[in-house]
Amino acid sequence: MKQDHNHQKKIAVINDFSGFGRCSIAVALPVISSMKIQCCPVPTSIFSNHTGFPSFYFEDYTDRMQAYIDEWKKLELQFSGISTGFLGSREQIQIVIRFLEEFGTKDNVIVVDPVMGDYGKTYATYTPEMCEEMKRLVSYADILTPNLTEACILTDTPYHEERWRMKEIASLAEKLSSMGPEKVVITGIVQGDFIANFCYERGREGKIRRTHKVGTQRSGTGDIFAAIVAADAVNGVEFQESVKKASRFIKRCIEKSIELGIPVTDGVCFEEVLHTLR
């Protein structure tokens, strides 16, 4: 008798795996699971610890990804959501696009976190060809979660250091939405003592959501943010409420990490406050 593996809500998370440093799959899996959704990871690469450390072990998983995914097709798995994070090559982006074409439906939610750069610059691994391929991937998204740098890269908008006006950010969000995603949140906008996220839903006026800035930037916070947004979308939570929840949870994580003296390289000790996530 054929078994049905699709009785529970599932999110496929396509990202790298780091054994230490609290980022990528290692944070998405427990966060999504705590929100009562099964997390099904697709590893793009394996790290002993993330690249913010002086040294690390790394294994590229690109050549194994398709065979891994093919086994899921044999099982006829169906996903309520699909979430993508850091992708290390043009070939990986193409594999992810194929995954979305094979597993994407009119009913599931696709969340793309276009991890491409920060502080006005693309990451060293990102080539112009990869940036163009990422634009293709963005067209498949229902929800897009770029930071300000990534929003500029995707829309070919010059980045500037001085304070961004809300009109400029709203224009970025509208351009991003016109590429495909119905919902866009531009994250990590510094506004004095606040960190802001700009939420945009097609056909509605965008809104800014602010939280008081605490500590310094740590690895994995973007992955936690995207995981909460993806799980909430699958659970039917309103988009702006989800962004507010994710921001507040990350603030609690950072505060607890500072309290316990966790090194910045080690990410945030979300385990200590995971029980507060509802």
Q: When comparing pLDDT for 54 and 124, which is higher? A: 54
How far is the first Cα of the chain from the last one, in angstroms, to the nearest whole number? 37
Q: 54-113, pLDDT tens digit by residue?
A: 999 999 999 999 999 999 999 999 999 999 999 999 999 999 999 999 999 999 999 999
Q: Is residue 241 situated within a structural domain?
A: yes
Number of domains in the chain: 1
Question: Residue 190: which residues within 8 A CB-CB, separation 6 or more?
Answer: 196, 213
Closest CA to 174 of 200, 138, 135, 141: 200
In a domain, 36, yes or no: yes
Cβ atoms of 197 and 241 within 8 Å: the answer is: no
CA 95 – CA 91 distance, rounded (Å): 6
Residue 193 has pLDDT above 90, yes or no: no
- pLDDT of 131 reads 95
Domain hosting 236: range is 10-266
Express each pLDDT in 198-253 by its tens digit.
Answer: 999 998 889 998 888 888 889 999 999 999 999 999 999 999 999 999 999 999 99
Residue 213 is predicted with a pLDDT of 85
User: Residue 191: inside a domain, yes or no?
Assistant: yes
Query: Is there a domain that residue 272 lies in?
Result: no
Residue at 111 is within a domain = yes
The confidence band for 39, taking pLDDT boundaries of 50, 70 and 90, is very high
Domain for residue 58, yes or no? yes
Tell me what pLDDT residue 125 has. Answer: 87
pTM for the model: 0.96
Q: Residue 5 falls within a domain, yes or no?
A: no
Q: pLDDT tens digits for 14-34?
A: 999 999 999 999 999 999 999
In a domain, 132, yes or no: yes
CATH number, domain of 215, equals 3.40.1190.20
Q: What is the rounded CA–CA span in Å between residue 173 and residue 150?
A: 11
User: What local confidence, expressed as pLDDT, does residue 89 receive?
Assistant: 95
